[in-house]
Structure formats: C-alpha cells, structure tokens
Amino acid sequence: MTRDRGDSGHASKGLLPPDGGPSIREFKHPEAPIEWIKRLDDPDREYNDAFVYEVRIASQEYALKVFKFSNPKSNPFYWGTRLRERLPLKQAIFYTDPFYAECRAYGRIEDGRVDRHSRMPRVRQQIAVKCHGYLLLDDSDKNWLLDRGHDLETDLLDNDVHEALEGDTRVRAIVKHLDKRPSLLHAGNIGRAWTSVHLLNKSLKIYNMDIKADNFIGFRLVDFGSSWTEPHEILRYLDETRERVGRNKRGRDRENFDDMIEEEEIPTRLKVVPTSRYQLRSRGEAPWAGRELPKRRRTMTGHE
C-alpha cells in the first residue's frame, strides 16, 4: 500500500546525530510516497528494537528499517553510572538509542576513516550493506504501522525524554540497499566476513557488539543497532573509570566472531582470538567487566 506523504509538513533535521560526530544525511527522496510491499524480518522474534520492510520509493525498491523509541534511563551504562551526572539526557540519546547507533556507524563507514581531515587512505572495501540515508516518517505512515500492530514504544517517552527530543516524535527509519539474493556465511566467505569486522574495529573504530550469523548478508554486516562508534561518550567514561571494561567491549566482536563460527559449525581453520584470551576469560572477571549491554530487542534476519 502506498502512503501519500505530500501533506506531511516535512522538516529536515540535517545530519543525524547532530553532535558533530559521525553522521548520515537524509534520504534523497524525503517527501516521496512510500509503498509498503512486505515485511522482511521475523515477526516472531522477541526483543526487536526495529522492524524491516521491503518498500518502493520513487520507483526504486529498498529495505526500510523502522526504529522503535528508546529511553536512556534503561541503559545501565548511562543511568547506572555517574556518567549521567555529566552527560545531559539529550546527548545521552545520541549514544544509547539504536537508531543513532546506526547513524553513527554508517556515517563513519561512508566517510571511510576516523578523522575526516586525515591524509590516511580511506577503507574502500564494501564491509556493510549500503545505507542511503535516514527518513522521518509522517503521521500517515506511523498510523499505518500502528494499525498493523507495531508497537513503536512511545510509552517510553516520559516527560524528560520528550523534552530532550524537543517534542519531535516522528518515527525514524534508515533506508538500505535491498539484496534479494540468499547469502549465508560459509567456508568460502568466512574469511572476508572477518576482514569486514576487523576493518570496522581497527580502521574505523566501530564495535558492532552484535556479531552473529543473521547479522550478515554474505560477508557484509547489515545491523548496527547495538554498535558503539568512537568517539563514544560511554567508551570515554569507561576508559577513565573502568579501563578493563573498555578493553573488553572493544574486543567483544572478536570473541563473538569465534563463537559464531563454532555455533554455525562453519568448517574453517580461522580463529581470531588466541586460545590464551579464552583461558584468561574463563578464570573470571570483575562483575563490572562481565556486564553485557542491555538485552536488545531481537533484530532481524536479512536486511536490518
């Protein structure tokens, strides 16, 4: 079904997030009607923080990832630490909300280097499914989604969060390339998948935090809703107060990658974390070091 967005009173927000860090631009057809074709993610999965549809916009098909709202007060790395005393709620949203996590990650990937003014060459390998920008949905699209039972979790927006958002509660989405080819991780592409993760971590300072098989289309990552992209206020705080935890978070993708190979029973000699690292981890860590990110609502297979 096509939703007419022509009378939406559309107002662009410029680059998102607007804090001067990595960011993405608005989709090139912000006011074009959206034709909702079919849902791509698994509706039976729990803990989704977004859902994905195949859509048609301006005669072109895309994967549209629509995000639910979130509240920084539910993030223990913010509300459960003294970081909340120096990071206003408005800025905290830019570092705890899955929508902004994807904006920051794709902004860094698009630029291809940590410092835009650096003379170092860009990372040119395609390591993630292409992002075409963000899109703010109007009320007609929002109501269409609500009519189909999608919980956008607007109830999480208490007075403090609503004020931090400056009253703008338009539903946020990210437009991505639609790849209809079935493409799974296997022995032939697992090495390139690791190269993608390694380049993200080492060259671009992006930590995906959610490495698993259904987060890949072939060797390319597709979901960055849990990612931390430097400079990141939570990582900066951890470096100052819990340095070991910061190191642990930066190394989480490597450990999860090896776990994924084992879980998926992919026949390969590739092992990205030395055995000694696992032995050290098995001896136990401080309670803080073992804390995971808040349980995220399960993401989707395919286009996320």
pLDDT at residue 103 above 60?
yes
Do the beta carbons of residue 153 and residue 111 sit within 8 Å?
no
pLDDT at residue 219 above 60?
yes
Name every residue whose Cβ is closer than 8 Å to that of residue 254 and which is 6 or more positions away in sequence: 197, 201, 272, 273
Question: Where does the pLDDT of residue 297 fall: very low under 50, low under 70, confident under 90, or very high at 90 and above?
Answer: very low
Of 14-23, 24-33, 66-75, 270-279, give the lowest mean pLDDT range.
270-279
Tell me the β-bridge partners of 138: none
- Closest C-alpha among 165, 235, 177, 220 to residue 21: 235
DSSP letters spanning 110-153: HH-SS-TT--SPP--S--B--EEEEEE--HHHHHHHHHTT----
SS3 (DSSP) at 50: strand
Q: What is the pLDDT of residue 177?
A: 96
| Token output for 234 | 């939570």
pLDDT at residue 109 above 90?
yes
pLDDT over 70 percentage in the chain: 86
- Write down the mean pLDDT value for the chain: 87
Q: What is the pLDDT of residue 180?
A: 82
pLDDT in tens, 43-59: 776 568 999 999 999 99
Q: What is the pLDDT of residue 203?
A: 95
pLDDT at residue 261 above 60?
yes
Q: What is the pLDDT of residue 280?
A: 46
Using the structure block, give the residue that is written with the tokens 């410029």: 14
pLDDT at residue 282 above 50?
no
Q: How many CB atoms lie within 10 A of CB 184?
A: 12
Do the beta carbons of residue 138 and residue 170 sit within 8 Å?
yes
Q: Exposed e or buried b for every residue in 104-121, given b needs 16+ CB within 10 A?
A: bbbbbbbbbbbeeeeeee
Torsion of CA 243, 234, 76, 23, to 10 degrees: -150
Q: Identify which has the larger pLDDT, 5 or 37.
A: 37
> Which amino acid, one-letter code, is at 233?
E
Using the structure block, give the residue that is written with the tokens 């190394």: 251
- What's the N-to-C CA distance of the chain in angstroms? 21
3-state SS record for 77-103:
HHHCCHHHHCCCHHHHHHHHCHHHHHH
Using the structure block, give the residue that is written with the tokens 């990612």: 227
Q: Identify which has the larger pLDDT, 62 or 284.
A: 62
SS3 (DSSP) at 70: coil
Q: For residues 238 and 146, what is the distance between their CA atoms, to the nearest angstrom?
A: 38
Segment 123-128 shows an average pLDDT of: 87
Q: For residues 40 and 58, what is the distance between their CA atoms, to the nearest angstrom?
A: 20
Segment 107-113 shows an average pLDDT of: 93
pLDDT in tens, 148-187: 999 999 888 999 999 999 999 999 999 999 988 768 999 9
Q: What is the pLDDT of residue 125?
A: 80
pLDDT at residue 251 above 70?
yes
Using the structure block, give the residue that is written with the tokens 């590739």: 270
Q: What is the pLDDT of residue 2?
A: 65
